[in-house]
Amino acid sequence: MRQMIAGNWKMNGSLKGLASYAGALARGVTGVDLLICPPFPLIGPLITALGSTPVMVGAQDCAVERAGAHTGDVSAELLAEIGARYVILGHSERRADHAETSSLVRDKARGAMAAGLAPIICVGETLSQREAGEAETVVRAQLAGSLPEEFAQVGALGQAGALGQAGALRLIAYEPVWAIGTGKTPTEADIAAMHATIRAALQKQLGEAGATMRILYGGSVKPSNAGALLRIPEVGGALIGGASLLAEDFLVIAAAAAQK
């Protein structure tokens, strides 16, 4: 399956440098789906800067409510209206910094899909959970709690149906919390085992739709390790933090995915 390389800029980036970043990506890579999720205020400008290139733009979160008195929140409808295609939901930094629960993530995913955004739902264990041998149990519970039943419906994604097949429209990102921003990654065997666990859980939970969803790996992916990580069975691409901030690094990772 074609891989997705998605950049999560987190609370980084500015208007300065957007044009040169977009220009570099426009000269970029074929054979891979590319997505950048910048902070909210940069979504529109980045879409404009990317122009007609196939690089897609997404958000890092959206509100669970559709509209109304929710100061500081941004609705999925508005994100879709300005041209966002995907939304990252349940990132461990939001689960930790904003006490987001799996059931909130599930409700956000439901609302995002109704608005025509494709959710990328993040799961992953902490170091103490891994050391206690609980990693797979934790991730299975996060999947059970965070995925709406609408994920099982093939082609049930409103306007984003134009994006392509169902498997392209709902994604999981496995991001071990202890690998994020630390330079550490699990062993290839551990990633393979967790992605196989996630695939089995998806198929059990969602049937046919669970067989085709891409499962991204995230956590300290960089140009030097991308080739090896992207070759692991059931790794359908990567969600990249730090290394997505430099277009050159992001493109090296994208090229590794295109060669897979």
Give the integer Cα–Cα distance in Å for 260 and 252.
13
Q: Which residues are catalytic?
A: 91, 175
Give the integer Cα–Cα distance in Å for 120 and 91.
9
Q: Which is nearer to ligand 13P, 65 or 190 (CB)?
A: 190
State the binding string over 4-33 for ligand 13P (x if CB under 6 A, else -).
----x-------------------------
DSSP 8-state symbol, 246 = S
Q: Work out whether 235 is an interface residue with ligand 13P (CB under 6 A).
A: no
Q: How far is the CB of 180 from ligand 13P (least distance, A)?
A: 4
Q: Work out whether 90 is an interface residue with ligand 13P (CB under 6 A).
A: no
Q: Which is nearer to ligand 13P, 49 or 123 (CB)?
A: 123
Per-residue buried b or exposed e for 149-173, using 16+ beta carbons within 10 Å of the residue's own CB:
ebbbeeeebeebeebeebbbbbbbb
CB atoms within 10 A of CB 138: 17
| Structure-block tokens of residue 87 | 């939304």
6 has which bridge partners? 35, 239
Q: Which is nearer to ligand 13P, 209 or 230 (CB)?
A: 230
Q: Which is nearer to ligand 13P, 160 or 245 (CB)?
A: 245
Q: Work out whether 181 is an interface residue with ligand 13P (CB under 6 A).
A: yes
Q: Work out whether 167 is an interface residue with ligand 13P (CB under 6 A).
A: no
Closest-CA residue to 85 (of 158, 17, 190, 10): 158
Q: How far is the CB of 97 from ligand 13P (least distance, A)?
A: 12
Q: Work out whether 191 is an interface residue with ligand 13P (CB under 6 A).
A: no
**Position of minimal CB gap to ligand 13P:** 241
Phi, psi of 36 (to 5 degrees): -120, 130
Q: How far is the CB of 193 from ligand 13P (least distance, A)?
A: 20
| Structure-block tokens of residue 152 | 């099982």
Q: Which residues bind ligand 13P (CB under 6 A)?
A: 8, 91, 175, 180-181, 218-221, 239-243
